[in-house]
Amino acid sequence: MIYFDNSATTRPHRDALSSYTEAAQTYFANPSSLHRMGGKAEQLLTACRKQAAQLLRVGENEIIFTSGGTEGNNLAIKGTAFRKKRIGNHIITTTVEHPSVLETCAELEKQGFQVTYVDVDKYGYVTADKIRAAITDKTILVSVMHVNNEIGTIQPIQTIGKMLTEYPNISFHVDYVQGAGKVELDLKKSHIHLCTLSAHKFHGMKGSGILFKDKDIFIAPQLSGGGQEQALRSGTENVPGITAMVKAFRLATENVQNQPARLFELREKLWEGLAEMEDVILHSPPAGAPHIVNFSVPGLKPEVLVHALGEKDIYVSTKSACSSKNSDASAVLLACGVPEAQAESAIRVSFSYDNTMEEVKYFLVVLQEALTQLKKVMR
């Protein structure tokens, strides 16, 4: 089996699974309970928070545990909007964000907020100058993703963050879901106020995530209840999931530091092979993230190719997993100016550190055979 759909979700690391099992069996008590077992669970939670903060190089009081990327993005965006609505009602984001950002912004528009969706270039890049041009005296939030989930564009987060320091009323949110564990990002040097991570994108378990919130930034809670997580995210903490997430994030961070060229080598080999194939059009930027390559075969329905590869036990995706069941063209590619016929036939290959060069070479052989066979059938 060759699994090339790691931007949708990754296989949980066996060490993370062991941590989950141990925490679930031994530290199953509610960390808010006053008895000794509750205290033990709280101690483990505190240790996880400390390690997460160390890995992100932020303060322990700046870590909010969530259920994942969608909740983190909703809490950051809605929390900022409702907290700052007396200051302004204008939000800036881009046209290539994840649905959990775009749909949240659309929902806020229905409640009276104004949202500017800044255009990108053909590779999905947005510039600090374009963000600056959209700023008004009512702007309270800028939200830009770090690594694009469909084509792998790495946005100039540090440049945008530095520019935004000129506007003290504006909070800066970054969706770091696809970059975490693959592409390093210094939250403090990038002047980021809010940053979203999701465990299952870096070999943790589904249902766990982190929202970094700068200690000097205030947001409104979106879940009310027992007051957990600084009263910003009420609900009993998922201690086993958090334990597994922090273990997986530490291992993923070590991979980035110890094997900086590994994913780039896989990407380069795949890129070269795809570029030599007739009718294949590459969409990812040449200097994009090391783990995502997006391409099209115009005239060929992507689901047909996905299923053909699946018969060979190879797994890729068509676009974001959160919208892959829609037959519409990729909204990200359309926003990049890609013709609709190409945007309708997009395929995404996404790596993790589990993948090998041999898998990439075999994939290229199988893909070429599949394309040749499918073309014969289509004639």
Nearest to 149 by CA among 357, 324, 345, 8: 8
Which residues are paired to 94 by β-bridges? 118
Q: Is 177 exposed, middle or buried (0-12, 13-18, 19+ CB in 10 A)?
A: buried
Active-site residue, from 105, 195, 322, 336: 322
Distance CA 210, CA 217 (A): 16
Say if residues 313 and 306 touch (Cβ distance below 8 Å).
Answer: no
Phi-psi map region of 112: left, alpha, beta (phi>0 left; psi -120 to 50 alpha): left
Distance CA 98, CA 331 (A): 10
Q: Assess whether 336 carries a catalytic annotation.
A: no
| The residue type at 153 | T
Distance CA 252, CA 198 (A): 13
Which residues are paired to 195 by β-bridges? 174, 212
CA angle, residues 158, 163, 169, in degrees to nearest 5: 115
Nearest to 292 by CA among 87, 52, 123, 106: 123
| The residue type at 126 | V
Give catalytic residue positions: 322
